[in-house]
Amino acid sequence: MFHKEGHSLIILFFIVITTDVIMLEMLIDDQSYLKLILQTFSLILFVFILWFFRNPKRNILKNPEIILSPADGKVVLIEEVDELEFFNEKKVKVSIFLSPLDIHVNRYPVSGKVLYSKYHKGKYLVAWHPKSSDKNERSTVVIENKKFGKIMYRQIAGAVARRVVNYAKVDSIVEQGDDSGFIKFGSRVDIFLSKDCKLKVNVGDKVKGGISVIA
């Protein structure tokens, strides 16, 4: 199963690579290693595109007592920061880095009402750079939840990722674990929590969106 954000790109690559393979068959001698190398590279590229946009079905158990991970990836940073875009107060930031091999579907960490959803143009620093959270292209979303209050998460484009897709609309009611967006290629997701939340992850942990408990 492939994510809808990849459908047009998958079709485009299928057409281009099929044409490439056929043209190489017609133009290059049957015994040429160059033809084999080029065709193999084309097929590997197509398999990578399919792999990147995979969207396996997950049995997500909604639980109002926990905050789920908004993305697959590796926890690379946990720190207390001054959050100045919405809260204007100190929050605990948990940063999750998504490599190009991770599933890039983003998910709502909690259920509730979307209070804030804003896209920011920006730079394309590598996603693990400390300033990428505030300087890179990004989308910021705040959800009001009955138990945890206001929870913020931020999708951040990286040096490779050049498009952030955000589905959250202000005033909409969202469900924990449902698709909240997609980031194309390597990227990062930050989630901002109250200081009194009990964290269930540590730096270096691998997490799965909609499955792993963050707090």
Q: What positions carry a catalytic annotation? A: 187
Contacts of 22 (CB under 8 A, 6+ apart): none
Closest-CA residue to 151 (of 84, 72, 87): 87
Instruction: From residue 179, give the alpha-carbon distance in Å to each of 5, 104, 142.
Output: 11, 10, 15
Say if strands 112-120 and 105-107 run parallel, antiparallel, or are unpaired: unpaired
Contacts of 15 (CB under 8 A, 6+ apart): none
